Structure 1
Amino acid sequence: MSATTVARALPTFHVSRQGIRRAGYEIRGYVRSPETIVFTFLFPIMLLGLFSVVFGGDGPTSYGPGLPEVSAVDLYLPSMLAAGILLSGLQNLAIDIAVERHDGTLKHLGGTPLSPVSYFLGKIGQVLVTAIAQAAVLLAFAVWVLGATVPTTIEAWATFAWVFLLGLVTSAFLGIGISALPRSAKGATGVVIPIVLVLQFISGVYLFFWLLPEWLQNIANLFPLAWLAKGMRSVFLPADYATLEQSGERGLGTIAIVLLIWLVVGLVLSRMTFRWIRRDA
């Protein structure tokens, strides 16, 4: 290896090491915040239990002519997994970074050797660890407590893995990007949570997507959550249920393309809006 190659590799290694250390700090801060755990970690689990009890009293049901019967927990599990990714990535980071910007934390970090890339790596590392833990707990709760049926093929779990990771990174960068919207720390939740709630209602999380008006489905399809939820449905619902989708098919290729487009949008927004110091400071 040449001296030039070593010189280029050392800064990259330093930034990565800083990012890993920052991720550890972020994870410790996350687990010490009860309100964050409740609203981004336990919320999908509580909703899945609630929906399963409220809508599962009649047992498994067929939701279309010739379609196999599925239980309420099986029907809502994909939606709650998608919602968990959005909450862990977009909502958590948007509020967290907005608060840090307005309470002076980012200004302090800007005066340290920590680079913005290491800061981003730390945030995304925290989101990755907590989202994986959340999904694992949600799946365990669904299977062992509520009796959900999960896929048994490697292909299905491989699809779950790439939809989960791509959706999570996309949500994380979008969260970083929109963290500039709140004008105060107190207003962060008031700005971000309504956006997240509206997206969930129109994207097939709380209401079955195929029951929504077509014009509302078209609007939802402009945003990533609808495609993330569709990707999860393609993993956990029987293949025949693809006929209920707006396109009449699972469309995994389209899902990947849309999420990648939004990932690029999130990267651009993050680059344009992120500052250590508020513009009005």
Structure 2
Amino acid sequence: MSTRATHVRQERPAPPNPVRVGFARGAIELRQFFRERDAVVFTFSMPVVLLVLLASIFRDTYPGTQVTAGQVFAAGMIAAGIMSATFITLGIGITQDRDDGTLKRLRGTPTPVTSYFIGKILLVLVVSFAEVAALLAVGAGLFGLPLPADGGKWLVFARVFLLGVVSCALLGIAVSSLPRSAKSASSVIMMPFIGLQFISGVLFNPIKALPSPMVEIGSVFPLKWMAQGFRSVFLPDSMTTQEVAGSWEPGRTALLLTAWCIGGLVLCLVTFRWKNSRQG
């Protein structure tokens, strides 16, 4: 009587779903972020404080319009708030994760790598939305920033917001490889952010009054186009005379922000490091 060996095939567990794990990671990132009170206060207060200071100091009305300098600063500061919530948050946060070994440990777990970045993007998306809501409340409540009644304007707002969040987030991920340690991250990442606010027409208005070389450098980066896009949403068309090109350039704004989304992804793939020099 022959016996037939039976082989029991053990099924391997299905790999975790990257999107589902990414959303779970995003919830963890949000809890960790809001537990750090210092980071929360800095992230939300800096753009608001700058807006209040600038709009309180400069009270002029632009010739031939009813638009005040405070309204122009409010529109541009929305762009700076988004960049603060994305570029700075990710640039410093990922540097800290690399420095304390979080990224190194992540590579040794079954957690999909993409889930880590999905969690980070969800974090900055929520923080950016809250930052913009705060700036709109301050701009409209204190400085009379007019909220558009035209649905088309809000579609432009949504487009600039989403493209701005993605492009600046990717740029923050890429720049996180520059600091040598978490201690130097704030200095390394804050310096270009502050400089860009001046040459992108956020802290200096009108932008066409800037020297041409500065405008050309600022036009390379997404902050200038985000600020211009938001000015096109909240300010009347008569304010196009204060722009370098004499128009809002909606098509060019969308094209260049999209290009930065693609270019930022390429930069991330080329420059991102999972370990610092001390970890080998």
Give the TM-score normalised by structure 2. Answer: 0.90
Deviating 4+ runs (over 3 angstroms):
none
Partner of 1:187, secondary structure, is helix
- Computing the radius of gyration over CA atoms, which structure comes out larger, 1 or 2? 2
Q: Which residue of 1 aligns with 2:157?
A: 160
Q: Which residue of 1 aligns with 2:97?
A: 100
Q: Is the 8 A contact 2:91 2:173 kept in 1?
A: yes
Q: Distance in 2 between matches of 1:87 and 1:246?
A: 25
User: How far 1:280 moved relative to its partner?
Assistant: 4.6
Q: Is the 8 A contact 2:71 2:143 kept in 1?
A: no
User: Which moves more between the two structures, 19-28 or 34-43?
Assistant: 34-43
Partner of residue 19 from structure 1, selected from 19, 22, 30: 22
Q: How does 1:157-236 map to 2 (within 5 A)?
A: 157-208=154-205, 209-236=207-234
Q: Distance in 2 between matches of 1:226 and 1:37?
A: 25
Q: Distance in 2 between matches of 1:222 and 1:137?
A: 28
Partner of residue 265 from structure 2, selected from 255, 264, 267: 267
Q: Is the 8 A contact 1:109 1:276 kept in 2?
A: no
Q: How does 1:112-123 map to 2 (within 5 A)?
A: 112-123=109-120
Q: Distance in 1 between matches of 2:245 and 2:152?
A: 22
User: How far 1:141 moved relative to its partner?
Assistant: 2.2
Instruction: Establish whether residue 82 from structure 1 lines up as the match of residue 79 from structure 2.
Output: yes
Q: Which residue of 1 aligns with 2:8?
A: none
Name stretches of at least 5 consecutive residues in structure 2 with no aligned partner: 1-13
User: Which moves more between the two structures, 32-41 or 225-234?
Assistant: 32-41
Q: Which residue of 1 aligns with 2:107?
A: 110
Q: Distance in 2 between matches of 1:52 and 1:207?
A: 12
Q: How does 1:244-263 map to 2 (within 5 A)?
A: 244-263=242-261
Q: Which residue of 1 aligns with 2:146?
A: 149
User: How far 1:259 moved relative to its partner?
Assistant: 0.8
Q: Is the 8 A contact 2:177 2:271 kept in 1?
A: yes
User: Which moves more between the two structures, 238-247 or 188-197?
Assistant: 238-247
Q: Aligned AA for 2:65?
A: P
User: Which moves more between the two structures, 146-155 or 161-170?
Assistant: 146-155
Q: Could you report, residue by residue, the CA deviation over 1:185-242 in whole angstroms, capped at 9, with x for unpaired residues?
A: 1010111000111111111110011221122111111111111111111111111111
Q: Distance in 2 between matches of 1:254 and 1:173?
A: 20
Q: Distance in 2 between matches of 1:230 and 1:244?
A: 11
Instruction: Establish whether residue 131 from structure 1 lines up as the match of residue 128 from structure 2.
Output: yes
Give the TM-score normalised by structure 1. Answer: 0.90
Q: Distance in 2 between matches of 1:253 and 1:145?
A: 31
Q: Which residue of 1 aligns with 2:55?
A: 52
Q: Is the 8 A contact 2:51 2:74 kept in 1?
A: yes
Equivalent pairs counted in the alignment come to 265
Instruction: Establish whether residue 39 from structure 1 lines up as the match of residue 53 from structure 2.
Output: no
Q: Aligned AA for 1:20?
A: F
Name stretches of at least 5 consecutive residues in structure 1 with no aligned partner: 1-9
Q: Which residue of 2 aligns with 1:70?
A: 67
User: Which moves more between the two structures, 182-191 or 266-275?
Assistant: 266-275
Q: Distance in 2 between matches of 1:158 and 1:242?
A: 19
Q: Could you report, residue by residue, the CA deviation over 1:80-128 in whole angstroms, capped at 9, with x for unpaired residues?
A: 1000111111111011101110111111222222222111100000000
Q: Is the 8 A contact 2:33 2:40 kept in 1?
A: yes
Aligned residues with identical type, % of pairs: 43
Q: Is the 8 A contact 2:145 2:234 kept in 1?
A: no
